[in-house]
A and B are shown apart, each in its own frame.
Chain A
Amino acid sequence: MNAELSLWVEIPVAVLLVLSGVFTLLGAIGLLRMKDYFQRMHPPALASTIGAWCVALASIICFSALKSGPVVHAWLIPVLLAITVPVTTLLLARAALFRKRMAGDDVPAEVSSRQTESGS
């Protein structure tokens, strides 16, 4: 690259990147160590929220300094994740609840009965 970054740009970029790496690793450790499936659904949110936000912010700072103007297209990633991750999480939770209920595990009973669901 031809343009050189100043130290005051590199320090926040480095700190944000390492922070995102640490939180992503924490999420993976949580995914591995938690006992129950429904507990295990929580740690991955660390990477898709604070991890993605930190990397996007670092990318924005770096590219804005390189091109000496605001370059904010990296925000698309956290915005996209904020829309899509809750959908998959909700569907996975429902699938796990359904499968555990079918397997006869001790999970909360259904809130809506079959009659109201069949109307839709």
Chain B
Amino acid sequence: MSPLLSNAILLTLFLYCMAMALTLVRLFKGPSAQDRVLALDYLYIVAMLMMLTLGIRYASDTYFEAALLIALFGFVGSFALAKFLLRGEVIE
């Protein structure tokens, strides 16, 4: 892997880490519960993009499956939390 691509991947991972740090600030500060759920949802998406980038870095397919799993569980988790905020219970 040439220095161009590996440096670009490093820069991308650094930008993702910055985004996650800012999202964590919102997660801990968030005035209301729905702000925290939104920040958690965003954390899931950024972690998934990070997995895809690591998959390019190591030229491996396994990271793609991890990203797919993170996307699915992120959706289920955010759905359950939003349903809980809406109704006070997850399954009714």
Chain A residues in contact with chain B, CB under 8 A? 1, 5, 7, 10-11, 13-15, 17-18, 20-22, 24-25, 27-29, 31-32, 37, 40-41, 44, 47-48, 51-52, 55-56, 58-59, 62-63, 66, 73-74, 76-77, 80-81, 84-85, 87-88, 91-92, 94-96, 98-99
Contacts and interface: CB of A to CB of B under 8 A. Distances in A.
A14 B9 CA distance: 7
Contacts of B68: 76-77, 80
Chain A interface mostly: helix
Interface residues of B, number: 50
Contacts of B42: 27-28, 31, 44, 47
Q: Taking chain B's interface residues, is the majority helix, strand, or loop, or is none over half, making it mixed?
A: helix
